[in-house]
A and B are shown apart, each in its own frame.
Chain A
Amino acid sequence: MKPPRKVQFVARESYRMRRLMDAARFLPIFGFVLVLLPLMRTSTDTEVPPTAVESTYLFIVWFCLVLVAFVMSLGLRRALDPPKQAQPPLPQRRNGGTDPETQRDDVL
């Protein structure tokens, strides 16, 4: 069967959301490249590697990644589909409805 046809152009809000998703996909790639940078800086000629500088650099990159991921997660939360709305009330995940906590989870 054919998948439902995708919309070609979307409103400003959805457009922003999609670019945010793109950014979320790119982030690990940029991060990977950034943590590989020390490889290109070190030369084996020097007797002792510049560990202090490199470690400072790596921890800064690391912290920036955390910050960017934090900011992105705020926006991406809204893009997460509301779980299990189209599903019938049963089957539920646990105890078939005796557990109010999972019921609340399903509603959220």
Chain B
Amino acid sequence: MAQTADADFKTRLQSLLPKLVLSPSLAMVLVFVYGFIIFSVYLSFTDSRLLPSYGWVGWENYSKLWRLSHWEISLTNMGIFAALYITICTVLGLSLAIFLDQKVRAEGVIRTIYLYPMALSFIVTGTAWKWFLDPGIGLENVLQTWGWTTFEFDWIKNRDFAIYTVVLAAVWQTSGFVMAMFLAGLRGIDNEILKAAQMDGASNWNLYRRIIIPQLRPAFLSAFVILSHLAIKTFDLVIALTGGGPGRATELPATFMYSYTFSRNQMGIGAASATIMLMTIAAIMIPYLYAELREKK
């Protein structure tokens, strides 16, 4: 009698155990991630300045936000940055992966070299590129002292081109990672299909265009999702590389949010900009998650 009760308890405990173990972290995620997201959204409708305060102001922060030229600049920069960053990273990552997939010698070493920048923090990348691109001490100066006196490369100091230096540094950092994702995708393709296609006389170009790249769809999708959220939250790279300058030429939504929330005592407007960033990410992620979950069924 007692034994069966004991066994009952044991099985019940066994089935409960995973839930028990997971519940603290679940509760913490609920409070510290979702709870604070709701709190931030709430703050965006209040008159918070230096510290959170709870005077309701409705949409005023949003209407102010959209009248700020600073926010407009951030959004334009975001558009340029995200479009170039995602496209170049994807193209470069895919080409590197395809080249590496040609059974080259020392593939392991090359792969590590390309992946390595990902191990650095964006602060390090930003600082290194800042020095490298600085016309006074970097590339321009070196080439000029070597005798190519007409050489000019001052993008980082030029407000019309500075945003492209951010793209340059970001692409350098992430394209190796995208390459690894595509490489994994390439290795997952069934060899039988490729052999069949080759027997049917498909050229290499057609092989890639018609068979391999279409099969990489999931890899494209994850690359896109990862790159787009990286793009939207880019903050440290800009801070280290240009500090948002020259002038306000490389300001992005994340740096905007930080400066309004923390240094300008306009927490309400900062929260409003954070909410808009969240909505943008959600607009990309939700269709993706939806598609992924539907496919699983």
Partners in one complex: no
Q: Point out residues on A near B: beta carbons under 8 Å.
A: none
